[in-house]
Chains A and B, each alone.
Chain A
């Protein structure tokens, strides 16, 4: 069964706006990761946040993690057309390498 679930399933925004998507998971984790997938391509790692971290930044990306609520959010600021993609959260359970992926959020950035 899938560990993470993203919300919303789809998101359409105007270029320059911010995009926020959420991920909820069920069991304790070692870390949570976000990946991007452009249409017809493989997944690309964006950011990893450890269970003892609450917030992390990478360029225009901001990730938060709330282990008490078992949830994470990914914020993309000042979106661009190139940000159009599907975004997946993946969780690594305690003391395990296996990543469990959610179904993803499809983001469309309109010019």
Chain B
């Protein structure tokens, strides 16, 4: 029972490089989201999706891109990495109805130098 799987767990990028953080869930959840966690700031919503083919921006979307071609996968793309994007990134999924809990991946720790 894998749940929400994120890869990679750790990544170091140089400023200006691009990369994709992978997120996959095997629970047939409609709703998926990406958060970043910075010290003292809790989790901030980057992008979210309410189903395949549907995505929308969250609180801090700039510098990130997402797509949702399947129910299972929700990759997050960093277009041109900046030191301000150094953070821990979490992917989450839920059934999508109101009053449902979110299931989180283990996170990707990204450092941009």
Q: How far is the CA of A99 from the CA of B99 in the complex (A)?
A: 11
Q: Which chain A residues in 95-111 approach chain B with CB under 8 Å?
A: 95, 97-104
Contact count band on A: 20 to 34
Residues of B within 8 A of A97 (CB): 31, 48, 50, 94, 96, 98
Contact A43 B104 (CB under 8 A): yes
Ordered by A's residue number, 18 sampled pairs between the chains whose C-beta atoms are within 8 Å are A30-B99, A31-B98, A35-B102, A35-B104, A42-B4, A42-B90, A42-B104, A42-B106, A42-B107, A45-B103, A88-B42, A90-B102, A97-B31, A97-B48, A97-B98, A99-B33, A99-B45, A103-B41
Contact digits for A54-98, partner B, Cβ 8 Å, 1 yes 0 no: 000000000000000000000000000000000010101001011
Any A CB within 8 A of the CB of B105: yes
Residues of A within 8 A of B103 (CB): 45
What number of A-B contacts does a CB cutoff of 8 Å give?
64
Instruction: Choose among A44, A50, A101 the residue that contacts B35 (Cβ–Cβ < 8 A).
Output: A101
Contact B98 A92 (CB under 8 A): yes
Contact A45:B43 (CB < 8 A) given known A97-B50, A98-B48, A98-B58: no
Any B CB within 8 A of the CB of A48: yes
- The winner among A31, A48, A101, A104 for most chain B CB atoms within 10 A is A101
Any A CB within 8 A of the CB of B26: no
